[in-house]
Amino acid sequence: MNITVTVNGTAHTADVEPRLLLVDFIRTNLGLTGTHIGCDTTSCGVCTVLIDGTPVKTCTMFAVQANGRSVTTVEGLKQNGELSAIQQAFREHHGLQCGFCTPAMMLVGTALIEENPDPTEDDIRWAISGNLCRCTGYMNIVKSIEAAAETTREGASS
């Protein structure tokens, strides 16, 4: 089946099997390997991307379902050569260790800040509770998202 998916602002057209999972389309067909695979049961969330701005687990969606939609992956976070606020915050606050859950965490954090510019710690923990991390104990992920929200608010008010 022929599909066209816009990924990080670029339209990609491909002929795919209906059963091709979106995560494999992104990783294999497009070569964007920042989106990862960590389980078979929609549990770990490392495959999360934004579809039209909403976080979605791409291991539980077929590529054909994304036909005509707009996808943002971790590779799309950097704009005009500038790291986004959340990317900078994850680095500054040691929000990652092995890096495997990081792209998803940053994307979920981005969507959260978009919806709620001033999230509480509980808001953040709740928002990322569909995404597992085995390294950090989440504390610095929370701190990173808090910091990114603050930077974003400052940026918006200045």
Partner 1 sequence: MTTTEHKPHTSPEIGGLGHSRRRVEDARFIEGRGNYVDDITLPGMLHMAIHRSPLAHARIISIDTSAAEAVDGVVAVVTGELLAGYNLAWMPTLSGDTQAVLATDKVRFQGQEIAAVIATDRYVAQDAARLVEVEYEDLEPIVNPQRALEEDAVLIRDDKEDQTSNLCFEWESGDKTATDEAFAKADKIVSLETHYPRSHPAPLETCGIVADVDSATGQATLYMTSQAPHAHRTVFALVAGLAEQNIRIVSPDLGGGFGNKVPVYPGYVVATAASLVIGQPVKWVETRTENLISTGFARDYYMKGELAVTNDGKILGLKVDMLADEGAFYADAQPSKFRAGLFHIVTGSYDYPAAYVTTRGAYTNKAPGGVAYRCSFRVTEASYLIERLVQNAAYELGLDPAEFRSSNFIQADQFPYHSPTGFVYDSGDYETAMRKAMDMVGYADIQAEKEQARKEGRLVGIGMASFTEVVGAGHGEDYDIIGLKMFDSAELRVHPTGKAILKLGVKSQGQGHETTFAQIVAEELGIPAGDVKVVEGDTDNTPYGLGTYASRSTPVAGAATAVISRKLREKAKKIAAHLLEASEEDLEWETGKFFVAGDPESSVSIQDIAFAAYTNPPPDLEAGLEGVHYYDPPNMTYPFGTYIVVVDVDPESGQWKVRRMIAVDDCGVKINPMIVEGQIQGGLTEGFAMSSMQHITFDETGNCLGSNFMDYLVPTAWETPRFELGETVTPSPHHPIGAKGVGESATVGSPAAYVNAVVDALQHMGVTNIEMPMSADRVWHAMQENSGG
Partner 2 sequence: MYPSKFDYLAPETLEEALAVLAERGDEVKILAGGQSLIPMMKLRFAEPATLLDINRIPGLDAIDIQNGHVRVQALARHADVVRSAVIKEENDLMAGAAPWIADPIVRNLGTVCGSLAHHDPEGDWASVMLALDAEVVAVSKEGVTHFHPGADGTQHTGGTRVISIQDFLVDMFTTSLYPTELLTEVRVPRYERGGGNYQKLERKVGDYATVGVATHIELGDDDRITKAGIALTSVYAHNLKVTDAETALVGQAPSDELFAEAGRIASAACDPASDTRGSAEYKRHIVGLFTERSLAESLKIAQGGQS
Smallest gap, in angstroms, from Cβ of residue 64 to partner 2? 5
Helix (H) or strand (E) holding 56: strand 54-57
Cβ-based neighbours of 62, under 8 Å, separated by 6 or more = 18, 19, 20, 21, 22
Piece in contact with partner 1 (CB under 8 A), picked from 62-70, 96-104, 111-119, 146-154:
96-104
Contact pick of 1, 53, 68, 94 for partner 1 (by CB under 8 A)? 94
Query: Counting contacts by CB under 8 A, is residue 68 touching partner 1?
Result: no
Residues 59-88 that bind partner 2 (CB under 8 A): 59-62, 64-65, 67
- Residue 44 found at the interface with partner 1 (CB under 8 A): yes
Instruction: Choose which of 17, 52, 115, 154 interacts with partner 1 (CB under 8 A).
Output: 17
Q: First and final CA of the chain: distance in angstroms?
A: 47
Instruction: Tell me which long-range contacts 69-72 makes (C-beta under 8 A, separation of at least 24).
Output: 69/5, 69/6, 70/5, 70/6, 70/7, 71/5, 71/6, 71/7, 71/8, 71/22, 71/26, 72/7, 72/8, 72/107
Q: Which residue's structure tokens are 């680095």?
A: 91
Site for partner 2 in 128-147 (CB under 8 A): 128-131
Q: Which stretch, 18-26, 70-78, 79-87, 136-144, contacts partner 2 (CB under 8 A)?
A: 18-26
- Those residues whose C-beta lies under 8 Å from the C-beta of residue 154, and which sit 6 or more positions away, are none
Q: Which of 4, 9, 11, 18 binds partner 2 (CB under 8 A)?
A: 18
Which residue from 32, 127, 145, 147 is in contact with partner 2, where contact means CB under 8 A?
A: 127
Residues that bind partner 2 (CB under 8 A): 1, 17-19, 21, 40-43, 45, 48, 54-57, 59-62, 64-65, 67, 108, 126-131
